[in-house]
Homo-oligomer: A and B are copies of this chain.
């Protein structure tokens, strides 16, 4: 199943995608929900971010090449993370598939980061490797847009990672997706700039969920962004960035000058 969140003339709803058609649902995938007999199509509605998370988790460094390259650019010895320390991003920055990413006037070096996103469906604490995926509703795609100068200069990632529009997420939540054989491919203006095995993470999804829930409760609607591999070229106004995860979908956003 693919859950879409969208706005039409009657408000914002959840719906189930069947090809280009959308069947409106009363409720949401996170509580009771009933399919209606109202149908629309994707070209008749505005897609929304598939969920506004209660807590917005992000793994940060979780692929070897990205971690090594990031250290090299800082002139440091690469150190791969030794444990699954989860980080955070901010809801103000979320925008859906198709929405512009606005580059602040004083931003200099803006990069994409194409990421698999885990969407939590059930409250969970003290997960084990065997049952960790039981709390997962499905998956979507995120672009962890980053300004590299601010990432170095500031005490926190607030504007480097969380400026308005810096967190495209979508287009939908797929409940049947299996990351084990998927590839994450990023294209800039149609040209492939990176292509990596989605599952080649330093710490995989069950490992993160087990570590996290030793100390915290996951709630329905929480999201966990799983990190990215490789590097990005510097992005410029007018660039169209597509992140495709095979079998899951494509997240497309245009970068514009703010």
A86 touches B156 (CB 8 A): yes
A219 within 8 A of B: yes
Residues of B within 8 A of A125 (CB): 164
Which residues of A from 183 to 220 have beta carbons under 8 Å from B?
212, 214-219
User: How many residues on the A side are at the interface (Cβ–Cβ under 8 A)?
Assistant: 34
Residues of chain B lying within 8 A (CB to CB) of residue A216:
90, 92-93, 158-159, 162-164
Indicate if A234 sits at the interface (CB-CB under 8 A): no
Assuming A54-B52, A91-B55, is B215 touching A155 (CB within 8 A)? no
Residue of B nearest to A81 (CB): B155
A contact patch SS = loop
- Whole-angstrom CA separation of A212 from B156 in the bound complex: 12
How often does this chain occur in the complex, in copies? 2
Q: With a CB–CB cut-off of 8 A, which chain B residues contact A214?
A: 159
CA distance A214 to B104 in the complex (A): 9
Chain A contacts with B in 214-228, Cβ cutoff 8 A: 214-219, 222
- Complex: chain B residue closest to A90, CB-CB: B55
Specify the chain B residue showing the minimal Cβ separation from A163: B215
B55 near A87: Cβ-Cβ < 8 Å: no
Determine the residue in chain B with the shortest Cβ distance to A107: B215
A130 at the interface (CB under 8 A from B): no
Q: List residues 118-157 of chain A with CB under 8 A from any CB of chain B.
A: 125, 154-156
Report if A114 contacts B (CB, 8 A): no
* Sampled A-B contacts (27; CB under 8 Å): A54-B91, A55-B90, A55-B91, A55-B92, A57-B90, A60-B156, A61-B155, A81-B155, A83-B154, A85-B154, A85-B155, A85-B158, A86-B156, A87-B155, A88-B88, A88-B90, A91-B219, A92-B216, A92-B217, A93-B216, A159-B216, A162-B216, A163-B215, A163-B216, A164-B215, A164-B216, A164-B217
